């Protein structure tokens, strides 16, 4: 039974990140000064601004935190939620530094947030608020294509990013690279194909890569591939919805539980992710979804028996109050910081394997990197090569068919093969290939450390180890 959290002392989110950092950094033998330089958050800007709404002036509080500028621009999403606070934004900014380093996206770490429940406002009101928030950040270069590039996070999407890009461009009319001031924009506002689903797609690619190594899978009590694995997902938002959808449709996983704000639904035979997503859109929650059992205490379903648990909503949901009851042998942290440092210890002792947030949800920043490069190069990926590639492939096929005719053979290439082979890669195919490659390489770098070093107990420590080592390398190269 889950105990009330108030009775148990947990470190804050930022303290949790620091605890994990401190554990990993001990293994690296860095000079104490450099350790401290990497750990601390360089700066956090707090802004309070007023917007006239519904006949009165409402004051909002927002943050933009820069954790590390060892590479610029710094990168990190902007979150809209009532719980946003300085501690959370700084923890998320630190995670961004390590995440970018791990997946070799050439950015420092940053994060922003606005204390607001976006569901309480009309679209035009949100636009006013977002533009005003962006104005405050742009005028201090806390949004800038060369210095600080936000992206969507909880409570924000392409819509807010398009407003921010437009606001920046209005304030910097001669900046030819203005669109690169923010990523995660809609395609028609300078975005890139595949960004909306990138974080969820990255979660899928991370799991596929994990299941390519039977010895890693054996560290859980699981065996075989992804097909048929029973999955519980918390949060059917951008990340959770796409991860669950792809795992169900493309990897034949069975989604047995979905946890949302208003409770959870369970069906051991499998829930149709698309149908649940549509139901939430129409009804505002999962309650009443036909053919599933409803639990008002949604968090209790985190403790259900399943093969893979995907927390994809918010931080701290697996903590000292429920960690001992978690049954999933494999947890993939699609959200940032869903497992507290105390819970991490308990789960490790129980033998659960955790694929850490810094790696698991890095698909978003990876494709954001591609979008930023696209904006700076002012051309869609694949535009120059696609037809040329098709023409070359077509030559090969024609030649093979001519040869076969000349030799009097009766064989021919299948139509499906021809169709697939002939097709040149467009932007979406290139983005998926780059994302897959990134997720595979980053996993390989983590597992190498995990398996080779006896003092690295789990994937999280391995991820921190690889990431901090690279950040330290950049600082050293700068002469620090």
Q: Which is nearer to ligand NAD, 150 or 240 (CB)?
A: 240
- Closest distance of CB 339 from ligand NAD, Å: 12
Q: From residue 124, give the alpha-carbon distance in Å to each of 71, 118, 168, 315, 451.
A: 36, 12, 18, 29, 53
Judged by beta carbon, residue 73 or residue 237, the one nearer ligand NAD is 237
Least distance (Å) between residue 367 CB and ligand NAD: 9
Question: Which H or E run contains 161?
Answer: helix 158-171
Q: Closer to ligand NAD at the Cβ: 247 or 456? A: 247
Chain centre to alpha carbon of residue 59? 30
State how far the Cα of 152 lies from the Cα of 184, in Å rounded to an integer. Answer: 6
Closer residue to ligand NAD in complex, CB, 199/445: 199
The residues that are catalytic are: 111
CA angle (3 as vertex; 262, 287 as ends), nearest 5: 15
Q: How do strand 230-234 and strand 308-311 relate by DSSP bridges?
A: parallel
Q: Are 322 and 337 in contact (CB under 8 A)?
A: no
Find the angle CA(241)-CA(17)-CA(297) to the nearest 5 degrees. 45
Helix (H, G, I), strand (E, B) or coil at 295: strand
Nearest approach in angstroms of CB 284 to ligand NAD is: 9
- Residue pair 253/308 in contact by the 8 Å Cβ criterion: yes
Q: How far is the CB of 338 from ligand NAD (least distance, A)?
A: 7
C-beta nearest to ligand NAD: residue: 237
- Element (H or E) spanning 337, and its range? none
Cβ atoms of 327 and 352 within 8 Å: the answer is no
Sites of contact with ligand NAD (CB under 6 A): 152-155, 199, 234-240, 259-261, 298, 312-314, 334-336, 361, 364
Residues 102 and 96: their CA atoms lie apart, in Å, by 10
What's the min distance (Å) between Cβ of 453 and ligand NAD?
27
Q: Which is nearer to ligand NAD, 217 or 295 (CB)?
A: 295
């Amino acid at each position: 039974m889950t105990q009330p959290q108030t009775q148990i002392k947990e470190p804050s989110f930022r303290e949790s990140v620091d605890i994990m950092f401190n554990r990993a950094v001990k293994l690296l033998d860095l000079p104490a000064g450099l350790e401290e330089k990497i750990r601390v958050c360089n700066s956090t800007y707090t802004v309070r601004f007023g917007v006239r709404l519904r006949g009165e002036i409402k004051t909002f509080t927002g943050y933009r935190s820069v954790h590390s500028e060892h590479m610029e621009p710094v990168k990190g999403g902007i979150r809209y939620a009532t719980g946003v606070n300085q501690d959370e934004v700084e923890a998320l900014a630190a995670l961004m530094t390590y995440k970018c380093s791990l997946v070799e996206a050439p950015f420092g770490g940053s994060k922003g947030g606005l204390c607001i429940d976006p569901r309480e406002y009309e679209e035009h009101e949100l636009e006013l608020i977002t533009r005003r928030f962006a104005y405050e950040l742009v005028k201090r270069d806390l949004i800038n294509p060369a210095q600080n590039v936000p992206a969507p996070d909880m409570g924000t999407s392409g819509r807010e990013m398009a407003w921010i890009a437009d606001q920046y461009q209005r304030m910097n009319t001669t900046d030819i690279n203005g669109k690169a001031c923010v990523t995660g924009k809609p395609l028609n506002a300078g975005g890139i194909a595949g960004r909306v689903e990138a974080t969820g797609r990255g979660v899928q690619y991370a799991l596929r890569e994990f299941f390519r190594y039977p010895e890693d899978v054996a560290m859980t009590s699981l065996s075989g591939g992804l097909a048929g694995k029973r999955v519980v997902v918390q949060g059917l938002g951008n990340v959770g919805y796409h991860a669950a959808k792809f795992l169900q449709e493309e990897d034949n996983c069975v989604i047995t539980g979905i946890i949302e704000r208003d409770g959870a639904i369970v069906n051991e035979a499998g829930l149709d992710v698309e149908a649940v997503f549509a139901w939430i859109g129409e009804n505002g929650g999962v309650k009443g979804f036909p053919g599933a059992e409803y639990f008002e205490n949604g968090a209790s379903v985190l403790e259900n028996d399943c093969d893979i648990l995907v927390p994809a909503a918010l931080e701290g949901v697996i903590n000292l109050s429920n960690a001992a009851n978690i049954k999933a042998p494999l947890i993939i942290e699609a959200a940032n910081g869903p497992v507290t440092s105390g819970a991490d210890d308990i789960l490790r002792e129980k033998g659960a394997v955790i694929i850490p947030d810094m790696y698991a949800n890095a698909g978003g920043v990876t494709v954001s990197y591609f979008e930023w490069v696209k904006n700076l190069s002012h051309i869609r990926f694949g535009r120059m090569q696609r037809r040329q590639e098709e023409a070359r492939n077509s030559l090969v096929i024609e030649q093979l068919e001519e040869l076969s005719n000349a030799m009097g053979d009766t064989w021919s290439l299948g139509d499906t093969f021809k169709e697939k082979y002939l097709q040149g890669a467009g932007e979406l195919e290139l983005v998926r290939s780059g994302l897959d490659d990134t997720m595979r390489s980053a996993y390989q770098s983590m597992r190498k450390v995990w398996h080779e070093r006896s003092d690295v107990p789990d994937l999280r420590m391995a991820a921190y180890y690889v990431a901090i080592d690279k950040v330290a390398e950049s600082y050293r190269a700068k002469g620090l």
